[in-house]
Amino acid sequence: MKADAVRGHLDSLILAVLEGAPLHGYGVIEALAARSGGELALPTGTVYPALQRLERAGFVSSSWDVVGGRKRRTYALTRDGAAQLGVSRAEWIRFSGTIGTLLGGARA
């Protein structure tokens, strides 16, 4: 699946993978791929700008850690991010239900 396919949903997907535990940037990429069964193999050039945007919005916070002698930034979901994730989930359920009804061939 191409990065364009998640346009408009990337921020919510990132918040969802951070819900379980803080992750470094590449860990977010790996979690998206793993939780999607490999369908979301997104490039760093897509994910890192989204993480920065989410941090500016106050939905994630970051801190620097040293792992194996290398510095890496770890991202965590904030309280505002958790609230935004709840809103996004509700919107997605409503939207996907509507689209599923239309594309599933349900009759009115």
Output the pLDDT for position 94.
92
Fold for 3-103, please state it: Arc Repressor Mutant, subunit A (1.10.10)
Output the pLDDT for position 51.
97
C-beta pairs of 58-63 under 8 Å, 24+ apart in sequence = 59/11, 59/15, 59/84, 60/14, 60/15, 60/18
The pLDDT tens digits for 30-79 are 999 999 999 888 888 889 999 999 999 999 999 998 888 889 999 999 99
User: pLDDT confidence of 107, banded at 50, 70, 90?
Assistant: low
pTM, rounded to two decimals: 0.86
Output the pLDDT for position 80.
98
Q: Domain-by-domain residue ranges, the chain?
A: 3-103
